[in-house]
Each structure stands twice: as C-alpha cells, then as structure tokens.
C-alpha cells in the first residue's frame, strides 16, 4: 500500500487510516464538536523514535493525535534524494499506533495538490527574510517554498489546533512558526526536543541509508556542534569544526553556523542573545542536519 493509492479508510488496531481530506476533516470536526482539541504531527513517513516522541507529546495535550504521512515532492531540491527517500507505510502505521496516535492521514498527491505543480517544484515562493534565505534556504533553493506550501495545505485539510515539529529541523520549525503567525492560521506550533541515539546521532529518517562507516562519521556532527556550543569563542570554534569535517574523507559539510535562534542573524558575541549551533553535511552522499542551543546565552 502506498500513500498515493486511491482513497480508503481502514482501522488498524484502533488506528484510523484515512487518505481522503474530506474524511479526516469530518473526524477532526467530530472531535471539535465533542470539545476535544486536535493535534497534528506532520511527517514524511519512515517514522522512528523521534516521531514517536512527537506523538507522545501530542497525547499529553489531547486524545486526538493525527499523524500525516506524505512524501512531499516540492520540498526536495534533489530528485535523487526524493527517489531514495525511505518508504515503509505499514511499519509507519504500527509505529504511530504504538505511540498512541488516533489516526494516520496519508493523502494522495492529487489530494494535496489538486491544481498540480510543475516538475517537482513548489508553485509558492516564500520570503521570510533570513529564516528562508540563510543556511538551508541557501543550500537547498526552493526547499522552504515546498515546506510552507505543504504545511499550509495540511493545516487546511486537517484543521488542527496544535501542530508538533521536532527541533532537529530547527530552521524549518522557525519558518513554520512564522508561517502560522504571518497568516494567522490559528494553529499553535509547538517544538519538541531532538531525540538522539545512544552515541549522540540525531534520529533521522535518512539514517537508515547510512553504511556502518558513514554512521560512525556522522557521529562527528553531533560531537562537534556540542563542542562548539560549549566553546568560549563559538564563532572561531565553528570555523575550525567546519574545516575538520571537510578534512574527513566521507564528509562534505555545507555549513557550520552559529545564529540567533529567533532571527537567524549571525550570532554577535558583543551582544549575546539565545543562539543555535547548526550543521549540515553530506555524509557518504546522505545529507544530514543537526543543531543544539549555544550554552550560556539562554
Ligand atoms: O519535517 C518533515 O518531515 C517535513 O518537512 C514536513 C514538515 C512533514 C513537511 O513535509
């Protein structure tokens, strides 16, 4: 079964699985009519413990937690990345159900984009200043256009009260919080801390594509952002960390940055404000991102 199959409704051990926007809307409206708020956990599937943490956080807020599973083509700047994106729908439903989700909403492409789109690209262009132009915005042109386009549409289809996003995609979180604020969407955007494996690697759907050697190399990303976050001179430490990553045969870093958490302006040690240390790198051809809070400025 794929998320692009024709509309169906299925109940899987107490988990409702819907593909039609109309069906999810009536489930959500029934919850609202019963006085229950509705939480949405938007995902692209390939669920892991990080997504389950989002669902569990959702359950603390409401008995109605919907997980959307939709691999959104318009946010991929690289067609190979889209084609290789892991898809495991049955396993995802089990993981969602185990974490306490009420339902899975797995819309088709036509449901999300009834007017279609050109090639793989978003028909919407967003400019939220530094939030969309820096770091991921610069390294993945069009990425946030696609993210905003799909999240806006998912909010429109599901009509949640609250939507949960992981801090692992820290810039995405900032962009979506700004979207909700700018467009007054009436959805509370809530962040949930990154879940890490025992050795510190941030959980990501892409990790399943890492070889053993690449996984070992990927551990350097979390180790280095944590070291920079504690460094007395974080900007100099970030430059050194970038150079050290670039020296590794399996790692091609895209950026290693320290920016203000709310504005994404460069961190200014003369005027210290809450800040984030962020890294993006290809590790053996797999693009990974990670971030932590800069210590001592919160
Ligand atoms: O973080 C993700 O998995 C995706 O970017 C999201 C928010 C589900 C939009 O497709």
Same domain, 247 and 157: no
Residue of 45, 167, 172, 195 best suited for mutating to test ligand 1, as the one with most atoms within 8 Å of CB:
172
CA of 231 to the centre of ligand 1 (A): 32
Predicted confidence (pLDDT) at residue 2 exceeds the cutoff of 90:
no
Band (pLDDT 50/70/90 cuts) for residue 282 is very high
Mean pLDDT of 177-181: 98
pLDDT, one tens digit per residue, over 225-272 is: 999 999 999 999 999 999 999 999 999 999 999 999 999 999 999 999
pLDDT given for residue 7 in this prediction: 63
Same domain, 262 and 145: no
pLDDT given for residue 176 in this prediction: 98
Same domain, 182 and 225: no
pTM: 0.95
Q: How far is CA 68 from the centre of its chain?
A: 12
Residue 268 belongs to domain with CATH number: 3.30.1300.10
The residue from 32, 51, 143, 248 that is catalytic is 51
Q: Which atom of ligand 1 is nearest to the CA of 70?
A: 10
- Residues with CB under 6 Å of ligand 1 are 42-44, 72, 75, 147, 150-151, 169, 172
pLDDT given for residue 6 in this prediction: 55
Whether 283 is covered by a domain: the verdict is yes
Predicted confidence (pLDDT) at residue 290 exceeds the cutoff of 60:
yes
Q: What is the rounded end-to-end Cα distance, in angstroms, of the chain?
A: 46
Same domain, 263 and 131: no
CA of 35 to the centre of ligand 1 (A): 28
CA of 45 to the centre of ligand 1 (A): 9
Same domain, 180 and 286: no
Q: Give which of 252, 247, 246, 196 is closest to 226, Cα–Cα.
A: 196
CA distances, 256 to each of 179, 194, 265 (Å): 25, 18, 14
Mean pLDDT of 188-205: 97
Residue ID of nearest Cα to ligand 1 atom 9: 147
CA of 42 to the centre of ligand 1 (A): 6
Distance CA 274, CA 276 (A): 7
pLDDT given for residue 4 in this prediction: 41
Mean pLDDT of 73-97: 93
CA of 272 to the centre of ligand 1 (A): 31
Predicted confidence (pLDDT) at residue 1 exceeds the cutoff of 80:
no
pLDDT given for residue 92 in this prediction: 96
Please enumerate in sequence order all residues whose Cβ is within 8 A of that of 186, keeping only pairs 6 or more positions apart, or say none. 161
Q: Which tokens is 29 given?
A: 């409206």
Domain span at residue 268 reads 206-293
Band (pLDDT 50/70/90 cuts) for residue 13 is confident
pLDDT given for residue 10 in this prediction: 73
The least confident of 118-122, 193-197, 205-209, 249-253 is 118-122
Whether 199 is covered by a domain: the verdict is no
pLDDT given for residue 12 in this prediction: 73
Residue ID of nearest Cα to ligand 1 atom 2: 43
Whether 2 is covered by a domain: the verdict is no
User: Is residue 51 annotated as part of the catalytic site, yes or no?
Assistant: yes
Residue of 169, 202, 289 best suited for mutating to test ligand 1, as the one with most atoms within 8 Å of CB:
169
């Amino acid at each position: 079964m794929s998320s692009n199959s024709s509309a169906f409704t299925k109940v899987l051990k107490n988990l409702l699985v819907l593909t039609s926007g109309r069906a999810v809307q009536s489930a959500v409206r029934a919850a609202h009519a019963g006085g229950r708020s509705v939480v949405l956990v938007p995902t692209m599937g390939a669920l892991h413990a990080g997504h389950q943490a989002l669902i569990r956080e959702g359950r603390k807020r409401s008995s109605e937690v919907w997980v959307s599973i939709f691999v959104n083509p318009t946010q991929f700047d690289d067609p190979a990345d889209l084609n290789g994106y892991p898809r495991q729908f049955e396993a995802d439903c089990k993981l969602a159900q185990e974490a306490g989700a009420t339902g899975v909403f797995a819309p088709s492409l036509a449901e999300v984009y009834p007017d279609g789109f050109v090639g793989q690209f978003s028909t919407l262009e967003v400019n939220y200043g530094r939030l969309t132009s820096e770091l991921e915005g610069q390294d993945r042109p069009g990425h946030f256009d696609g993210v905003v386009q799909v999240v806006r549409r998912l909010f429109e289809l599901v009509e949640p009260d609250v939507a949960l996003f992981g801090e692992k995609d820290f810039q995405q979180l900032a962009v979506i919080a700004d979207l909700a604020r700018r467009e007054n969407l009436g959805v509370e955007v809530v962040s949930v801390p990154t879940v890490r494996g025992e050795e510190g690697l941030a959980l990501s759907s892409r990790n399943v594509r890492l070889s053993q050697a690449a996984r070992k190399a990927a551990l350097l990303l979390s180790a280095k952002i944590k070291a920079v976050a504690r460094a007395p001179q974080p900007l100099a430490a970030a430059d050194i960390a970038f150079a050290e990553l670039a020296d590794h045969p399996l790692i091609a870093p895209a950026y290693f940055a320290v920016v203000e958490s709310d504005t994404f302006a460069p961190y200014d040690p003369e005027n210290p404000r809450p800040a984030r240390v962020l890294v993006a790198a290809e590790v053996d051809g797999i693009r990974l991102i990670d971030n932590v809070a800069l210590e001592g400025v919160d």
